[in-house]
Amino acid sequence: MSELHTLGLAAIAEGLAARRFSSLELGEALRARARAHADLNAFLPLDEAAETEAFHAAARASDARRAAGQALGPLDGVPLAHKDVFVTTDFPTTAASRMLVGAQGPYRSPFDATVVAQLKAAGAVSLGKLNCDEFAMGGANEHSAFGAAKNPWDATRIPGGSSGGSAVAVAARLLPAATGTDTGGSVRQPAALCGVTGLKPTYGRCSRHGMIAFASSLDQAGVLARSAADCALLIDAMAGFDPLDATSAEFAGAEPNRPGLIGAQLAARRAAATDPARPLAGLRIGLPREFFGEGLADTVRAAVQQGLEQLRALGATLVDVSLPRTELAIPVYYIIAPAEASSNLSRYDGVRYGHRAEGAKDLLELYRKSRSEGFGAEVKRRIMIGTYVLSHGYYDAYYLQAQKLRRMIADDFQAAFQACDLIAGPVTPTVARPLGAGSDPVAEYLADIFTLPASLAGLPGMSVPTGFGEGGLPVGLQLIGNVWQEATLLHAAEAFQQASDFHLRTPEGY
């Protein structure tokens, strides 16, 4: 039983069905493992008693359903954990910010985020909350009020962010899978730097209800797991229209947006690929020349190129395309995202919930002191930038221009998709950098160059392990699909993983 942590979702389902282990035993084994590797700082230590109680109740309920021969959900008894940006009734929620830790302790939500509720309804059992950058703002997990999570491939390196804890937990085999959120790359980038598989779906595919808002026009729920097949199972349970989120889509293309749709479309793709040696025959993969220019580390370029060769060997055709406004994605994103953040974060005022400063003489001072004490430096920087670009006199020069360019970036993708079905490239310009080297915010923003374009265009994207670069650190291959094409993405990634074993490698000691 000591090897339970090595199992992916299919093996877990099989083991549970064959009664080789219970959900309770599996979850306990993973919890013990997480405690043994607490130095990675993947889980947030918010309320251990609540975690134990909620986990025991959910795992026992799943085991009882199974024993009684009741109907089971597609993820029944599967242990996972949520990025601490999803609100949960079973556990506290902080968004890794001091702002959500009040005198009575960390914030407790009266409701579950819709994706959390959907995963529960599918039978999944949550083990707790995962570390991330404060309010999901960052790309290294160093902006967490609880300290950075550490990359298990080299504990002196960043895991990436903002969903750093999720990537670390999956990479170190503390969990088979975890939720994350992706506003400008926060699922794909940590997945790449930690050598796991990550999927950010189309904007509108999953509900944002109960996902603590950062930049509402960009925020999407996503998943990190050991394989594309596991990502497919999870996203299939999380997806669907939600009347509680005004931007969740009623239709995903021609079909109603609902749980089960991606799984059905993926099954159809698998069935249609009749030549097992060339499962990607007929698939055109576009390589944007702007994704392979200067600034891409040689070892990352080599690993990505090797991945592209693999896709070609599986039957795909590689074609050159152009996304001419790639460079502009950085200034555009770093205007729009802070603008929306400055508005979303105005609700944290020290009055209704979270941190409240002591000794304020009047209401204005209460706001000022609570927010000064509660928010970290990066969050404050974004609130200031966002307030500036939205202010009278600058709105037209910055915010309005950024919105226009955002549309042009989306149009560039549509032009590229005339010539291809998927787009491929790197996820990050380099492998994971050392912890503590991130004092320059602009350098951190520049590293988002390859993930921001798809976010601005609302497109689904994946990171798939494609080898190792400098220092033996993992490299991710990014695949970007057109809207609602998650099944195309997942099918290509799955075929890639059937022909490679990068996603199965574990860091030494794990």
Active-site annotation, residues: 83, 162, 186
Q: Does 184 bind ligand GLN (CB under 6 A)?
A: yes
Q: Rounded to whole angstroms, what are the CA distances from 461 to 147, 188, 269, 295, 451?
A: 28, 7, 18, 21, 8
As measured in angstroms, the least distance from the Cβ of 427 to ligand GLN is 12
Choose, by CB under 6 A, the member of 182, 421, 486, 494 that binds ligand GLN: 182
Subset of 17-46 contacting ligand GLN (CB under 6 A)? none
For ligand GLN, the closer CB: 59 or 329? 329
Among 131, 186, 326, 482, binds ligand GLN (CB under 6 A): 186
Residue 405 to residues 283, 453, 457: CA-CA distances in angstroms?
30, 11, 11
Nearer to ligand GLN, 123 or 476 (CB): 476
DSSP code of residue 356: -
In angstroms, how far is CA 141 from the centroid of its own chain?
13
Q: How many CB atoms lie within 10 A of CB 24?
A: 18
**Residue 391 tokens, joined:** 């202010």
As measured in angstroms, the least distance from the Cβ of 215 to ligand GLN is: 8
DSSP-derived secondary structure for 184-235:
SSTTHHHHHHHT-EEEE--TTSB--TTBPPSSTTT-EEEEEESSHHHHHHHH
DSSP single-letter state for residue 354: S
> Measured between alpha carbons, how far apart are the two ends of the chain, in Å?
16
3 state DSSP class of 475 = strand
Tell me which H or E stretch contains 42: none
Span of 37-45, 181-189, 302-310, 348-356 interacting with ligand GLN by CB under 6 A: 181-189
Q: Rule CB under 6 A: is residue 159 a binding residue for ligand GLN? A: no
Regarding 340 and contact with ligand GLN (CB under 6 A), the answer is no
Q: Which of residues 122-141 bind ligand GLN (CB under 6 A)?
A: 136-139
Q: What are phi and psi of 299, to 5 degrees?
A: -70, -30
- Residues touching ligand GLN: how many (CB under 6 A)? 13
Candidate list 28, 76, 448, 494; residue touching ligand GLN; CB under 6 A: 448
Name the minimum Å distance from CB 180 to ligand GLN: 9
Stretch that binds ligand GLN, among 62-70, 178-186, 267-275, 404-412 (CB under 6 A): 178-186
162 binding ligand GLN? (CB under 6 A): yes
If you count them, how many residues does the chain have? 510
Does residue number 463 form part of the binding site for ligand GLN (CB under 6 A)? no
Q: Which is nearer to ligand GLN, 54 or 456 (CB)?
A: 456
Which residues of the shown chain bind ligand GLN in the complex (CB under 6 A)? 136-139, 162, 182-186, 214, 337, 448
